[in-house]
Structure 1
Amino acid sequence: MESPSTPRPRVIVVGVDGSPSSVAALQLAASLVPLAGDVIHAVAAWQYPLVFGLYTPVDWNYEELGGKALDRALADAFPSTYPCEIVRHLLKGAPAEVLIEESRHASMVVVGSRGHGGFGGLLLGSVSSAVAERAECPVLVSHGALQLREGETVALRPVGASA
């Protein structure tokens, strides 16, 4: 059992859906580890699709597809080695709800601004907006790729520092 004086690791939760925006969010989170976290939890959510009618494609394994998207995003973000400790989480549920729940135990949540939303995103709303509104910790919405080379991190200037 963990003693009350033992500090818990600071966790940066990153929402991953396999999109280029979520790959950029992973890279951005890795650059923030020295400031805001000890470990990254790369979180992908999967669920059975909302269908109009009774037909659901039973030949598709949505959990497996979510796992492959998570693995591909991690490989795209960090081609050979992780720059910090990264724990992979594949959870069943709506992406926004999963990330909001994960925020309860995080020091920060990082999400991309554009994922695989499409028509479903129009109906259900933006994951990044929902997480930013309801998370229980600070949320950083990443707009665009950092284009980091392998092993490279970004030194962030303190607020108010000149460029």
Structure 2
Amino acid sequence: MDAPERHPRIVVGVDGSDASIAALHAAGSLAGPLGATVEAWACWDVPPGYGLYLVVGIEGFEYAARQSLEQALADAFGPELPAFVHPRVVRGKASEQLIEGSRNASLLIVGRRGHGSLVLGSVSSACVSHAHCPVLVVHAPEEAAHRKKGSHARKSDDGQ
């Protein structure tokens, strides 16, 4: 008996940054040729040290994540969300949730949010190190352009 055919599933971590919008673009470009569905995950949690929010209510954190996800999807795909894209708001630390989500994914895509000397941000670094599927880390468009200009400048300074 043949095993049932499993359709590829791409999980994308979305935080509203330019890098996560670029990650959504990459997922959209790959979904068609792969016949994959795209799950856009916005993760949220109560920040450490905010015990008062547990008494007052935590709905604002979830609402902010949902709004950020909706805006990122609109920025990436326009007003009409493609049928293959499924938004999901998940409570928990982003790195932990995305790693867990990678268990049943064909590909995990995250944006690069590293600052300063960090090559990767903490979430993308954790995903690359611990995901259960391949991980694609996407740079924000202006960051990639800046890196390209910097490499050209170094080459010209070296006379190459």
Moved over 3 A (4+): 34-37, 54-60
Kindly provide the amino acid, as one letter, of the partner of residue 23 in structure 1: I
Larger of the two Rg values belongs to structure: 2
Deviation at 1:37, TM superposition (A): 5.0
Counterpart in the other structure of 1:44: 42
Contact 2:20 2:140 in 1 (8 A): no
Aligned to 2:154: none
**Deviations 1:87-134 (CA, angstroms, capped at 9, x unpaired):** 11111100000000000000000000018x9xxxx9xx7100000100
- TM normalised by structure 2 equals 0.75
> Mean alpha-carbon deviation: is it higher for 75-84 or for 16-25?
75-84
| TM score, norm. by length of structure 1 | 0.73
Please give the residue correspondences for 1:68-147 in structure 2 after superposition, counting only pairs within 5 Å: 68-83=67-82, 85-114=84-113, 126-145=122-141
Structure 1: where are the runs of 5+ without partners?
147-163
For the residue of structure 1 that corresponds to 2:132, the secondary structure is coil
Q: Closer, same or farther in 2 for the Cα pair 1:138/1:37, shift >3 Å?
A: farther
Mean CA deviation greater in 95-104 or 106-115: 106-115
Deviations 1:59-83 (A, max 9, x none): 6611111111111100111113345
Whether the aligned pair in 2 keeps the contact of 1:46 and 1:62 (CA below 8 Å) is yes
Gaps of 5+ in 2: 143-160
C-alpha RMSD of the superposition: 2.6
Work out the CA distance in 1 between the residues paired with 2:2 and 2:94. Answer: 32
Determine the structure 1 residue equivalent to 2:149. none
Report which of the two has the higher share of helix.
2
Q: What is the identity, as a one-letter code, of the residue corresponding to 2:130?
A: R
Aligned equivalent of 1:32: 30
Contact 2:74 2:81 in 1 (8 A): no
> Which amino acid in 2 is paired with 1:74?
L
Number of aligned residue pairs:
136
Change in 2 beyond 3 A, CA 1:65/1:75: same
CA-to-aligned-CA distance 1:30-51 (integer Å, 9 cap, x gap): 1111344510000011100112
